[in-house]
Amino acid sequence: MGAKEESMVKAIEKFFKVKERGSKISIELLAGCVTFLAMSYILPVNAGILGAMGMSEAGVFASTALVSGLITIFMGLFANVPISLSAGMGLNAFLTYTVSITLGYNWQECMVLLTITGILFFILSVTPLRLIIINAIPKDIQHIISAGLGAFIAFVGLKGSGIIIGSASTLVTLGNLGNAEVWLALIGIFFTLFLMSVKTKHPMINRMAIPLGLLFTAIIGVSLYYIGNAAGTAYFAELPYFHGNWGLSGLSDVIFFGALSNEANIDHDIGGLFVSVFANPQTYAVIFALIFVNLFDTTATLLSVGEDAGLLDEGGRFINNRPVIVDAAGALICGPLGTSTVTSFAESTVGVRVGGRTGLTSLMSGLLFIVAAFVFPVFSAFTSATVTAPALVAVGCLIFTSNFKGLDWSDMAISFSAFVTVLLIVLTYSLTTGIGFGLLTFAIMMIASGRGKKISWPLYIVTVLFIASFAINTYFTFYAKK
């Protein structure tokens, strides 16, 4: 190694405090690569989910990869922690299947909503308000909300792949097991769950179960598609296959609310979009729900990764507020840049366990995200709902079980609230509805048991706001149009 290279290495070690934190540059770079591999499934999954509300899948893929890369690099350089960020699972599904498909917002309006939400969330994060709200909500309620998010993600995966379908007599029922897409999704789900729990001398297999499960499912699906195509049969016609263009294809169709797109079906009156969004009374309830869910989802993930990385003080808080600011910055820029809310990923712990201790890990992971933005055809087969089902179900299970295991089930107010929250989230296909009724259940049972004073005033306010949102939505859905 020459003098110039040696000087550069020392500068990197000094800037990231590599030796000070007991690590090596080689270990940090390896940890960054492993973290990217563990998180890479989110790129095609997010493209597939947002594509369901009319966005260009290639454009969403490129946007998600670029935003993930930039914010992750920012996390490494500004906060110097081994935390990588990308589009959060749960909020993307809520945005597509509840806000867009159920409530009727088009994708451009959804991006406007995310922009407004991102601005408000950033303000909350750089002021004491975020901490005040978090501390005001009991830990059990926070876990219930996160668990409900997990159930919702898993249900989206089961429904999207056709494993669960609608039924006029029973609301939902088992899908057609004779359908190639359905049994491929089932095989992928069980293979992923097998890898997550298999006893092995190589624990990295367990930690990489989700991307490996997606890869396995995609390989089978693509193989059957091309075999069927060669044989001239339509039986496998709906299975995943590689398609799309190289480079940042479709990016102009999704950034800046579609203002740069040449597509005829895209509204280029951006000012009019903002007006229509604010003119819709449901908007305020949606913004409130997006902020509320994002608040607990991102905070829980940050604290979980921070604990594994040794970045928290004795009180369980970050030694400095920089990771929180970067996390909020991800939410701030995602809407205008054409992707769903970017947040810290629990998969960052995979890199931490490999040995990552500094922002150099994040820098490496971020650079790989940016490279991935240019190779959509490589990932395009993974955007199929059949292939994404294993990831959605596995991630949903992880979020659900990790949050429910710590609840005080002996407390009826807690256990009943948990039951109501999860049940209504799944049955109404709405995080907002489930969380609102769950909080109402908790408040009523706490008051009835003489413990009403133990509920903080911010929680009462949040509960009242949910009730108000139900009233507003009910009026404009059933009465205002008559």
In a domain, 5, yes or no: no
Q: Which of 166-170, 301-305, 326-330, 376-380 has the lowest mean pLDDT?
A: 301-305
In a domain, 106, yes or no: yes
Q: What is the DSSP letter of 344?
A: E
Which residue has 């693509």 as its token pair? 222
Q: Are 44 and 383 in contact (CB under 8 A)?
A: yes
DSSP H or E segment with residue 5: helix 3-16
In a domain, 405, yes or no: yes
How high is the pLDDT of residue 165? 86
> What pTM was computed for the model?
0.76
How high is the pLDDT of residue 300? 62
Q: Are 254 and 63 in contact (CB under 8 A)?
A: yes
pLDDT at residue 204 above 90?
no
Q: Which of 245-249, 314-318, 340-344 has the lowest mean pLDDT?
A: 314-318
pLDDT at residue 22 above 50?
yes
How far from the centroid of its chain's Cα atoms is residue 136's Cα?
24
How high is the pLDDT of residue 377? 81
In a domain, 11, yes or no: no
How high is the pLDDT of residue 480? 46
In a domain, 3, yes or no: no
Q: Which domain holds residue 317?
A: 20-479
| pLDDT tens by residue, 24-39 | 888 888 888 888 877 8
* 360 CB-near residues (< 8 Å, 6+ apart): 12, 16, 18, 25, 28, 29, 32, 76, 82
Mean pLDDT of the chain: 82
Q: Are 311 and 318 in contact (CB under 8 A)?
A: yes
Output 241 or 300, whichever has higher pLDDT: 241
In a domain, 91, yes or no: yes
DSSP 366-429: HHHHHHHTT-HHHHGGGGSHHHHHHHHHHHHHHHHHHHHTTS-TT-HHHHHHHHHHHHHHHHHT
DSSP 179-190: SHHHHHHHHHHH
Where do runs of H (alpha helix) occur along 127-254? 129-136, 139-160, 180-197, 204-207, 209-231
User: Per the structure, how many domains does the chain have?
Assistant: 1
In a domain, 225, yes or no: yes
In a domain, 445, yes or no: yes
